Amino acid sequence: MKLLRRKEGPSLDSRLAALLEAAELAEGRLPEEVVSGARAVAERAGVRRTLSIDHTVAALAGATGSGKSSLYNALAGTDLAAVGVVRPTTSAAQAALWDGEGAGPLLDWLDIPQRHPAASASGLSGLVLLDLPDHDSIQVSHRLEVDRLVELVDLLVWVVDPQKYADAALHDRYLRRLAAHRGVMLVVLNQVDRLPESAVDRCLRDLRRLLDEDGLAGVPVLAVSARTGAGLAELRALLNDRVAERKSWSTRLTADITTAAARLGAPEEAPPGQATDRALTAALCEAAGVPLVVEAVAKGHRHRAVVATGWPVTRWIRKLRPDPLRRLRIGTMAPAGGRVGELPAAGPSRQSAGSSGQGQGPGPGGEVVGRTSVPAASAVQRARVETAIRDVGEAAAADLPGPWAAAVRQAARSRSQELADAVDRVVATTSARATRRPRWWRAVNVLQWLVFAAMLAGALWLGGLFGMDYLRLPQPPLPTVGVVPWPTVLLVGGALAGVLIALLSRLAAWAGGRRRARRTARALRTAVGRVGDDLVLAPVRAELDRYAHFTEALTRARA
Ligand SMILES: Nc1nc2c(ncn2[C@@H]2O[C@H](COP(=O)(O)OP(=O)(O)OP(=O)(O)O)[C@@H](O)[C@H]2O)c(=O)[nH]1
Ligand SMILES: [Mg+2]
């Protein structure tokens, strides 16, 4: 017994756990009745194995009048069940017990209050034989009772008679569906005393053929007569073997698990697809106005360079013009308002969704939280993003079975509402870094003011000389550089130097702007790609992972 338990136990345990796991993973993906069916199987199996495994519950099932109750009495050796001419006769299941000690909780679980000790002493120790009502009953309650117990018992003994053994009700509703349970099934052709000797074999062969068609090859078929007792010894012997093995309960549960696992999914399902970008980053970049922002980064850099390093005499004119980058509310705390843009599924309008001025100011990480003023994504750009999201879902779902493919497609879309805001935020944060002022601007600025001061000094000097000459005052001695007097050198040299420095700085700023634009474009693509990864690819990956775990659990449940 112990040995048996060790042999059956762990594999049944792990298969049960795997079935439960698969059912949990399929929750919300596969039809509710399939998932709850698998859960019910796991629950049932969990209970059955805690109840007496020294008893084998065998049920006599069949059409009305096939002779279930007669056979039940014959096996029990006493008239426990009523055998009637009025059909149907048996309305509630009852149990006959061979050494029924300890079978109480098992019968409580089966909900069978009518229990009788069997009178026959012919072995069968540990057998709990059930006489069921008719499965083809005109009484609904009979059919329900049969269906309930067919799910629970360890061994199914189908009792058929020569008239009705081919009934579709039996083959379609029960036998074919229970093909996985052929290891815990017997078929008994009763009432053979009513057939001429020569017809018995023919009848048995026909029945065998039908069973084979049902997928029940190998299921033992016995010809018996409850009335004459013919074949009963073989039936008893067969039952005795099964009861002695004490394996029917676990074979049945294993078949239940196999059936439930098969309903959850077919075994040869393809490996899950991949979550790949598929033009998503490019579409998001376009919709978020990245090319525009990149251009503004270059222009903004040049603009600020001129303000910082231009010729002091003229640089104020530049200050009157707005900074192209700040005009997009990048690199500055957005004062109010928002980007009048909209990415797919971002609600009726980005303005209404987020332009109320809420959530602006520095974020937790010091990043810019306000919205940029990059113009709205066009309908075409939004459509491209939608298409890219759909493509991601389609590609990942390609080889998955229907319901899982739908779940993957849904996962791709699941967070698209957040895309517009998230992308706008990273565009603002990432491109704001491009507004850092290079150190040489400060140095050049100091130089510009020194040169400007020299120019001013020259001008004042010359102005002073001019004033003294005007007042006919004697001229002080005038130092010269070569033949050119110093104030002239200062004035003209200062002006020329200022303009030259401004021009050289402009050249440097032009190159710097290009460099920054390139760097920003790269950083933006990475950052926007990360947003797409977080909000589109990650949910798809999670769903694919779930599917992979599901198939893995299913494989373990089937093992
Ligand atoms: N000739 C013959 N008649 C049988 C045999 N077994 C049962 N009968 C008769 O068939 C009729 C139905 O028998 P039951 O045992 O009540 O059949 P059942 O399958 O329990 O029927 P329900 O309880 O209505 O589902 C009775 O009249 C029995 O006497 C048999 O082996 N040979
Ligand atoms: Mg009966």
Q: What is the mean pLDDT of residues 38-42?
A: 94
Per-residue model confidence as pLDDT tens digits over 491-513: 999 999 999 999 999 999 999 99
Give the pLDDT of residue 100.
86
Per-residue model confidence as pLDDT tens digits over 76-118: 988 988 887 777 788 999 999 999 889 999 999 999 999 999 9
How close is the Cα of 216 to the center of ligand 2, in Å? Answer: 25
How close is the Cα of 60 to the center of ligand 1, in Å? Answer: 12
Q: Has residue 475 got a pLDDT over 90?
A: no
Ligand 1: which residue has its CA nearest to atom 2? 191
Q: For 88, list phi and psi in degrees, rounded to 5.
A: -75, 155
Output the pTM of the full model. 0.78
546-549-555 Cα angle (round to 5):
140
How close is the Cα of 56 to the center of ligand 1, in Å? Answer: 24
Per-residue model confidence as pLDDT tens digits over 234-259: 999 999 999 999 999 999 999 999 99
Per-residue model confidence as pLDDT tens digits over 398-409: 888 889 999 999
Ligand 1, residue 64: give the atom nearest the CA. Answer: 25
Give the pLDDT of residue 11.
82
Query: 44 exposed, middle or buried (CB, 10 Å; 0-12, 13-18, 19+)?
Result: middle
Question: Please, what is the average pLDDT of the chain?
Answer: 88
Q: What is the mean pLDDT of residues 140-159?
A: 96
How close is the Cα of 155 to the center of ligand 2, in Å? Answer: 18
Ligand 1: which residue has its CA nearest to atom 13? 67
Query: 268 exposed, middle or buried (CB, 10 Å; 0-12, 13-18, 19+)?
Result: exposed
Confidence class for position 270, pLDDT limits 50, 70, 90: low
List residues, by chain if needed, whose CB lies under 5 Å from ion ligand 2. Answer: 68-69, 89-90
Contacts (Cβ under 8 Å, ≥6 apart) of 108: none
Confidence class for position 154, pLDDT limits 50, 70, 90: very high
Give the pLDDT of residue 120.
64
Q: Do the Cβ atoms of 442 and 307 come closer than 8 Å? A: no
Per-residue model confidence as pLDDT tens digits over 195-249: 998 899 999 999 999 999 999 999 999 999 999 999 999 999 999 999 999 999 9
Per-residue model confidence as pLDDT tens digits over 303-329: 999 999 999 999 899 989 998 888 888
Give the pLDDT of residue 206.
96
Give the pLDDT of residue 404.
92
- 318, 301, 312: which is closest to 501 by C-alpha? 312
